[in-house]
Amino acid sequence: MSSTAFQFNERPASSLQPRPGESTLIEVTDYTVAGWKPPANPEDRSRWYCARLEEGQILFFAGTPYKLPADDRDCLIGVRQTSVAYHKNVSYRPREGRIHGLDRASADADRLRAIMGAYSRHVTAFAADFLRPYARGWKLDFASFRSLEERGRDLPLKQRNDLLHTDAFPTRPTNGNRILRVFTNLNPSEPRVWLTGEPFDVIAPRLAPDAGLLACAAKARSSLRPLSRLPGRLGSALGLPVPDRSPYDSFMLGFHDYLKANGAFQDSPAKSRCEFPPNSTWIVFTDSVPHAVLSGRLALEHTYIISEADLMLPEKSPRQVLEKLAGTSLRN
Ligand code: SIN
Ligand code: FE
């Protein structure tokens, strides 16, 4: 495997420019926990960063660019040894203020809920200021605390995090809206190590046909299509847990599994190794940048669903890339 290890603190400014067709890291130096550094023009810089994300770049902060009290950080680091050790990760639903993945009887539950609530508010305030165009129409999805060591986890293929994949949520279809994630490595001494691959608009022309795009397009065009969506639509309208998947969502879910199972894609040399150091934060559209986590424990993550209407480069969005390849709408 040929791979690139990024040295965040030693990279000269010139190397921060993305290379065409590659997912690379752009280190953000004009935004800190105190906000935009003068003389930055927040509106222009914000739009520029949004466009880089949509091209498939990862925005990287050497520190934590939002408020994260030392007490909360220490508590999260300590809590992993007790009640969360039996769960994949702890998730927090900001719109309901509810926490999942923790023993009900856990003495840590109330404290963890309060910490995750504060984390969600602070990281969201930061993201709303740093990525201003997105905050208008975004939907707050879940936040998570990832306490377990990723190296050597024994998981079924579809759930393996150490295989390159693009994200799609089985229970929360986006219908073309985008999955944006903010990660922070809380580990005080070890990096979180990722592999990343070429972005969606580069790999889709090569792989989407083999992953079933044409069959998906044929279903989208079928006159029976409205009927096949009835159960999902009815279920959603009644608040039942039946996902109402567009053809786009069905394809993206299948593509996630297809990439993980594709040995040639996993072995392809077109990937980079990224080591995210302690306390660093990074932002990425995980529905378009193939990623895998090789090692690391103790990370915070928040997901935002970005409205298609707010994108700077909609032609790079997976839905538009796929529709161009398929020659049909994948919305209905
Ligand atoms: C993933 O989204 O595949 C996992 C990334 C991580 O936990 O670092
Ligand atoms: Fe993922």
Per-residue pLDDT of 215-256, as tens digits, reads 999 988 887 667 677 777 777 777 777 788 899 999 999 999
Q: What atom of ligand 1 comes closest to residue 146's alpha carbon?
A: 7
The pLDDT score that the predictor gives to residue 145 is 93
The pLDDT score that the predictor gives to residue 12 is 36
CA–centroid distance, residue 167 to ligand 2 (Å):
5
Spatial separation of the C-alpha atoms in residues 325 and 332, rounded to whole Å: 17
User: Average pLDDT, stretch 278-304?
Assistant: 97
Higher confidence at residue 102 or residue 191? Answer: 191
Mean pLDDT for all residues in the chain: 88
The pLDDT score that the predictor gives to residue 106 is 64
Residue with CA closest to ligand 1 atom 8:
293
Spatial separation of the C-alpha atoms in residues 74 and 71, rounded to whole Å: 5
Pick from 27-31, 77-81, 88-92, 183-187: least confident: 77-81
In this structure, which ligand is nearest to the CA of 88? 1
Is the distance from CB of 143 to CB of 88 less than 8 angstroms?
no
How far are the Cα atoms of 124, 145, 156, 287, 310 from residue 187, in angstroms, in the given order?
21, 12, 26, 25, 34
Using pLDDT thresholds of 50, 70 and 90, give the confidence band for residue 105. Answer: low
The pLDDT score that the predictor gives to residue 78 is 83
Q: What atom of ligand 1 comes closest to residue 194's alpha carbon?
A: 8
The pLDDT score that the predictor gives to residue 2 is 35
| pLDDT for 10 beyond 70 | no
The pLDDT score that the predictor gives to residue 308 is 97
Residue with CA closest to ligand 1 atom 5:
293
Using pLDDT thresholds of 50, 70 and 90, give the confidence band for residue 164. Answer: very high
Residue with CA closest to ligand 1 atom 6:
293
The pLDDT score that the predictor gives to residue 14 is 36
Q: What's the longest Cα–Cα distance across the chain?
A: 58
How many residues would you count in the chain? 332
Residue with CA closest to ligand 1 atom 1:
161
Structural domains of the chain sorted by starting position, each given as residue range(s) with its CATH number in brackets: 8-200+270-313 (2.60.120)
Within 154-212, where are the H helices?
200-207
pLDDT digits (tens, 9 = 90+) for 31-89: 999 999 998 899 999 999 999 999 999 999 999 999 999 999 999 988 754 445 456 68
**What are 143's two structure tokens?**
């936040």
In this structure, which ligand is nearest to the CA of 195? 1
Pick from 3-17, 123-137, 144-158: least confident: 3-17
CA–centroid distance, residue 293 to ligand 2 (Å):
8
Using pLDDT thresholds of 50, 70 and 90, give the confidence band for residue 107. Answer: low
Spatial separation of the C-alpha atoms in residues 17 and 55, rounded to whole Å: 12
Q: Which of 60, 301, 302 to mutate to test the pocket of ligand 1 (most atoms within 8 A of CB)?
A: 301
Please report where in the chains the tokens 């934060």 appear, as a residue. Answer: 281
**What are 332's two structure tokens?**
């209905």
Would you give the DSSP letter of residue 85? G
| pLDDT for 5 beyond 60 | no
The pLDDT score that the predictor gives to residue 40 is 85
Spatial separation of the C-alpha atoms in residues 206 and 268, rounded to whole Å: 13
pLDDT digits (tens, 9 = 90+) for 257-280: 999 999 999 999 888 999 999 999
Dihedral over Cα of 159, 162, 166, 169: its sign: positive
Q: Which residues line ligand 1 (CB under 6 A)?
A: 146, 161, 167, 183, 192, 286, 291, 293, 299
What is the β-pairing status of strands 25-27 and 58-61? parallel
Q: What atom of ligand 1 comes closest to residue 301's alpha carbon?
A: 7
What does pTM read for this prediction?
A: 0.90
The pLDDT score that the predictor gives to residue 20 is 47
